[in-house]
């Protein structure tokens, strides 16, 4: 029997506002603990939360970018649970009246596109950061204890819940990459997993291909990169298929991913049903996003990265994978489009940008596309080394392609001849082998000659010269 994976995601993204969600403490990362806290984010009695207008705007903006309906009226709820990272004993979140719902994100793929439904995108506050030290398992001696830093407590957090519309580990990875790119390009989040400003959980189940049933799902937590997530999902899919094929049943459980061992060992089976006792937050009045605001924000939404990939394929005749790589950042995509509009062939531009240019590590946003276009156009005329040097310098201020394109750098054909002869004389064995039919050795000779010239020769001329001599 063949099986289809059914994957849904729940993603949390920190908004990079200047201040927290419900107080005006400055948001800061990496400062000493508890240096950006106040009575509101410490949950002192008698304080009142005041929502951050920018966080609300940005959540609406993200909702629009995800094709969501923006609610005429949204409210905040209290989600009650007891833990030291939550000084009030509840998190202010949204429940059945979120800001955004019913969206979709196009995830282009090599063969088929996925259209991933967005159930909701809502706004909430993040919890504080707990540091567990000591105890039996800890590295620090002494009694086990938990240290709490409330600097992160109250950071605006958007939660995005997808429908289980993803059907492979690769598709899930692509979705996450596009979503991350979307929020980065909207300018509302750094979405960096290392800093914890992007976190996600994955729900996984499988079903017989062709059916539309939803079987028991497991939840994967603690994913620390998209690549690990893809591997974790694949492993979990295989595990579930194995269970069903052996006649067993998958149990609902939460699996914590361990990147060191790449295992997803069961943590707790049959978790106690959560009971958050949601109720409307009485300290906050409802939100009613004004229509003009929503329309203004709608106009500010840039072309979504998924749509841009599609456009690159059709407009420039690129393969899916090339279009995907070129759209890895908006800066690279823009540079590509400018280089092509400066007259460079679409395929050539894509090859150079994805290979030689990418290897230089030059920041695409710093490059003058017209100058870079000149370099790419000259790639067949100038020596390899020069070409790479030019690419490496293309991000420097005032970069001038002409400096690299001068004729004087290429060793003249008349000077090449003796060099070629010297190389052939020094490699008699290889010459004999070539003449006996090992044509692949031509590249070896070209390399030798290029080395003699310090790379300053036209490879095509060297090629021709060598052929003439060898085939004579």
- CA gap 36, 47 in Å, rounded: 16
Residue 116's beta-bridge partner residues? 105
Instruction: State the burial class of residue 239 (Cβ atoms within 10 Å of its Cβ: 0-12, 13-18, 19+).
Output: middle
Nearer to another protein, 94 or 327 (CB): 94
Among 6, 11, 13, 23, binds Zn ion (CB under 5 A): 23
Q: Coil, helix or strand for 78? A: strand
Among 117, 280, 328, 393, binds another protein (CB under 8 A): 280
- CA gap 427, 56 in Å, rounded: 72
Q: Which residues of 138-175 are buried (b: 16+ CB within 10 A; e: fewer)?
A: eeeeeeeeeebbbbbbbbbbbbbbbbbbbbbbebbbbb
Contact 157, 124 (CB under 8 A): yes
Scan residues 81-110 and list those touching another protein (CB under 8 A).
81-85, 89, 95-96
Instruction: State the burial class of residue 238 (Cβ atoms within 10 Å of its Cβ: 0-12, 13-18, 19+).
Output: middle
Residues in binding contact with Zn ion, number by CB under 5 A: 5
Query: Mind giving me the DSSP string for 232-257?
Result: HHHHHHHHHHHHHHTT--PPPEEEE-
Among 62, 66, 71, 75, binds another protein (CB under 8 A): 75
CB under 5 A: which stretch of 9-17, 21-29, 87-95, 187-195 binds Zn ion?
21-29
Nearer to Zn ion, 151 or 205 (CB): 151
Residue 125's beta-bridge partner residues? 156
Q: How far is the CB of 87 from another protein (least distance, A)?
A: 9
Query: Mind giving me the DSSP string for 417-468?
Result: HHHHHHHHHHTHHHHHHHHTT-GGGHHHHHHHHHHHTTT-S-HHHHHHHHHH
Q: How far is the CB of 134 from another protein (least distance, A)?
A: 8
| 134 is a site residue for another protein (CB under 8 A) | yes
CB under 8 A: which stretch of 74-82, 329-337, 359-367, 463-471 binds another protein?
74-82
Contact 220, 202 (CB under 8 A): yes
Q: How far is the CB of 18 from another protein (least distance, A)?
A: 5
Tell me how many degrees the CA angle 14-231-304 measures, rounded to the nearest 5. 45
Q: How far is the CB of 67 from another protein (least distance, A)?
A: 21
Q: How far is the CB of 274 from another protein (least distance, A)?
A: 5
Nearer to another protein, 31 or 370 (CB): 31
CB under 8 A: which stretch of 107-115, 287-295, 396-404, 464-472 binds another protein?
287-295
- CA gap 269, 255 in Å, rounded: 9
Q: How far is the CB of 373 from another protein (least distance, A)?
A: 41
Q: Which residues of 435-453 are buried (b: 16+ CB within 10 A; e: fewer)?
A: eeeeeebeeebbebbbebb
Residues 20-49: x where in contact with another protein by CB under 8 A, - otherwise, as a string: ----xxx-----xxxxxxxx--x-------
Integer-rounded Cα radius of gyration of the chain:
29
Scan residues 25-84 and list those touching Zn ion (CB under 5 A).
25, 38, 40-41
Instruction: State the burial class of residue 471 (Cβ atoms within 10 Å of its Cβ: 0-12, 13-18, 19+).
Output: exposed
Q: How far is the CB of 179 from another protein (least distance, A)?
A: 20
CB under 5 A: which stretch of 17-25, 205-213, 241-249, 418-426 binds Zn ion?
17-25
Q: How far is the CB of 125 from Zn ion (least distance, A)?
A: 10
Nearer to another protein, 62 or 362 (CB): 62
Q: How far is the CB of 264 from another protein (least distance, A)?
A: 21
Query: Which of Zn ion, another protein, none sits in contact with 55, Cβ below 5 to 8 A by type?
Result: another protein
Q: How far is the CB of 224 from another protein (least distance, A)?
A: 21
Among 67, 109, 117, 135, binds another protein (CB under 8 A): 135
Note the residues at the interface with another protein (CB under 8 A): 17-19, 24-26, 32-39, 42, 50-56, 73, 75, 79-85, 89, 95-96, 130-132, 134-135, 144-150, 273-280, 282, 284-290
Note the residues at the interface with Zn ion (CB under 5 A): 23, 25, 38, 40-41
């Amino acid at each position: 029997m063949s099986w289809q994976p059914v994957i849904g995601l729940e993603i949390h993204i920190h908004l990079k506002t200047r201040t927290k969600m419900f107080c005006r403490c400055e948001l800061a990362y990496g400062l000493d603990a508890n240096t950006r806290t106040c009575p509101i984010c410490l949950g002192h009695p008698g304080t009142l939360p005041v929502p951050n207008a920018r966080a609300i705007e940005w959540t609406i903006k993200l909702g629009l970018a995800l094709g969501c309906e923006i609610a005429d009226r949204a409210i905040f709820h209290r989600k009650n649970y007891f833990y030291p990272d939550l000084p009030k004993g509840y998190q202010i979140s949204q429940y059945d009246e979120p800001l955004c719902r019913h969206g979709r994100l196009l995830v282009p793929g090599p063969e088929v596109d996925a259209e991933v439904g967005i159930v909701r995108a809502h706004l909430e506050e993040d919890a504080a950061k707990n540091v567990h030290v000591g105890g039996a398992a800890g590295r620090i001696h002494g009694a086990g204890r938990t240290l709490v830093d409330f600097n992160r407590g109250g950071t605006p957090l958007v939660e995005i819940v997808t429908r289980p519309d993803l059907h492979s580990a690769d598709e899930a990875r692509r979705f996450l990459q596009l979503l991350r790119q979307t929020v980065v390009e909207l300018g509302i989040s750094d979405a960096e997993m290392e800093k914890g400003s992007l976190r996600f959980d994955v729900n996984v189940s499988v079903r017989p291909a062709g059916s539309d049933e939803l079987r028991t799902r497991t939840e994967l937590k603690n994913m620390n990169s998209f690549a690990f997530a893809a591997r974790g999902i694949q492993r979990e899919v295989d595990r579930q298929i194995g269970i069903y094929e052996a006649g067993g049943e998958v149990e609902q459980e939460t699996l914590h991913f361990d990147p060191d061992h790449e295992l997803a060992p069961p943590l707790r089976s049959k978790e106690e049903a959560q009971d958050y006792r949601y109720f409307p937050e009485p300290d906050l009045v409802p939100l009613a996003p004004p229509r003009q605001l929503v329309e203004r924000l709608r106009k500010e939404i840039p072309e979504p990265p998924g749509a841009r990939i599609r456009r690159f394929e059709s407009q420039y005749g690129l393969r899916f994978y090339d279009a995907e790589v070129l759209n890895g950042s908006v800066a690279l995509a823009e540079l590509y489009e400018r280089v092509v509009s400066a007259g460079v062939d679409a395929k050539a531009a894509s090859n150079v940008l994805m290979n030689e240019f990418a290897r230089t590590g030059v920041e695409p946003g710093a490059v003058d596309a017209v100058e870079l276009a000149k370099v790419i156009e000259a790639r067949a005329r100038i020596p390899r080394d020069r070409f790479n040097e030019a690419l490496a310098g293309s991000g420097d201020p005032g970069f001038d392609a002409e400096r690299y394109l001068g004729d004087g750098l290429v060793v003249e054909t008349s000077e090449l001849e003796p060099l070629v002869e010297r190389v052939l004389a020094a490699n008699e064995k290889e010459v004999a082998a070539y003449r006996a039919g090992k044509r692949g050795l031509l590249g070896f000779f070209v390399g030798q000659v290029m080395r003699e010239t310090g790379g300053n020769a036209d490879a095509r001329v060297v090629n021709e010269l060598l052929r003439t001599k060898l085939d004579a």
